[in-house]
Amino acid sequence: MKLIFGILFATFSQAFAVDRPIIGILSQEVSSSLNEFGITGTYIASSYVKWVEAAGARAVPIIVNSDQDFTQMFQYLNGLLIPGGAVSLSDSPYSRVGSYFLEQAMIANDQDEHFPIWGTCLGFELLAFLTNNEVRNLASCEANDIALPLNPTENFTNSRVLKEASSEMLEVLATEKVTSNFHHWCLTMENFTKYEMDSFWNVISTNEDINGMEFISMFEAKDYPIYGVQFHPEKNNYEWAPKLESIPHSRNAVKVSNYFADFFVEEARKSTHTFPSREIEEEYLIYNWNPAYTGQEAINYGFQTIYVFPDP
């Protein structure tokens, strides 16, 4: 009976995969600033989970230092979100697992098996690093805790990520400070050209840091459903730390956040990957974990709540 139910569930899930996307989200090592509060292991900021949920998807944590079978996980999931953070791009479980999923996604997409990837901030930087043969290509910059409008490139209006944006949305993105930046490393146009990254990426927008250094703020792969933004769309809706002064919470900033979430989840709806049974699906969903309240005054962390996964 259990086998029959599993077969029926898999058939049902396959038929309705476009309406039941499940996104994997990479965890990363907990900041040392949280260790004094007894918080260790790896984590995912809840804002990323809420961001995909608001667009009609569910989330599964990809716990990078666990015994999860990432080969199976790739087949179960409809897309991957690589979140921002502060870990090594070249030598961390976050980077190694991210590299594996990127490789598998490119293989799958080459075989007409749609699997999208979205990288935010450090995720953007990891995608830039991995697609440059793991050669370092970032420059030190000062773009921390600032909100900016985007500077459009010639690819802005004809990009896939913005093709369904209204003229009003495009105007907001180009004129209002609705993108939240928290990074000290930038991919410059000079390095983009130097490393011939235009063979893989189209640059959609740029920005300047506080010293006038131009950096790439959004790109998309030419031949794959792979997207990266140096800014944090999820923060507009879900992060409220008083010490982070620049996060925009205006009506238009929230619309921008929702637009990007809607786009990425719609990409995930094109994937026919599915869990083999309801039992296995429920085993992995984020609902099995409870978030910790880290934005309270006593801790004063930059994220309001985070999901913590203790070291094995």
What residue segments make up the domains of the chain, in order of their start?
Answer: 2-309
Predicted confidence at residue 13, as pLDDT, reads 45
Residue the block writes with tokens 């063979």: 199
* Mean pLDDT along residues 169-195: 97
Residue 40: which pLDDT band, with cuts at 50, 70 and 90? very high
Tell if the pTM clears 0.75, that is, is over it: yes
Q: Which residues contact 300 (CB under 8 A, 6 or more apart)?
A: 241, 243
Beta bridge partners of 152: 205
**What integer pLDDT is reported at residue 17 of this predicted model?**
55
Query: Which of the four pLDDT bands, split at 50, 70 and 90, describes residue 14?
Result: very low
pLDDT for residue 68: 94
Tokens 């667009």 correspond to 55
Is position 232 annotated as part of the catalytic site? yes
What torsion do the CA atoms of 116, 131, 110, 222 make, to the nearest 10 degrees? Answer: 70
Q: Which of 121, 141, 183, 186 is catalytic?
A: 121
pLDDT at res. 311: 87
Given a cut of 90, whether residue 10 has pLDDT beyond it is no
CB-based burial label for 247 (10 Å; 0-12, 13-18, 19+)? buried
Distance in angstroms (rounded) separating the CA atoms of residues 246 and 147? 6
pLDDT value of position 132: 97
Mean pLDDT confidence for 29-56? 96
> Strand pairing of 79-82 and 22-26?
parallel
- Which of 70, 103, 121 is CA-nearest to residue 227? 121
C-alpha distances in Å from residue 305, one per residue of 53, 68, 144, 193: 15, 24, 21, 39
Would you say residue 216 has pLDDT above 80? yes
pLDDT at residue 108 greater than cutoff 80: yes
Average pLDDT over residues 193-216: 97
* Per-position DSSP letters for 179-191, written without gaps between them: EEEEEEEE--HHH
Average pLDDT value over all residues in the chain = 94
pLDDT the model gives residue 308: 97
Burial (0-12, 13-18, 19+ Cβ within 10 Å), 179: buried
Per-residue pLDDT reduced to its tens digit, 146-168: 999 999 999 999 999 999 999 99
Does domain 2-309 fall under CATH 3.30.390.50? My reply is no
Q: Given CA atoms 79, 84, 88, 89 in this order, what sign does their dihedral have? A: positive
- pLDDT, tens digit, 9 for 90 and up, residues 259-301: 999 999 999 999 999 999 999 999 999 999 999 999 999 999 9
Give me the residues paired with residue 43 across strands.
28, 308
Residue among 114, 183, 186, 232 flagged as catalytic: 232
Confidence at 9, pLDDT banded by 50, 70, 90: very low
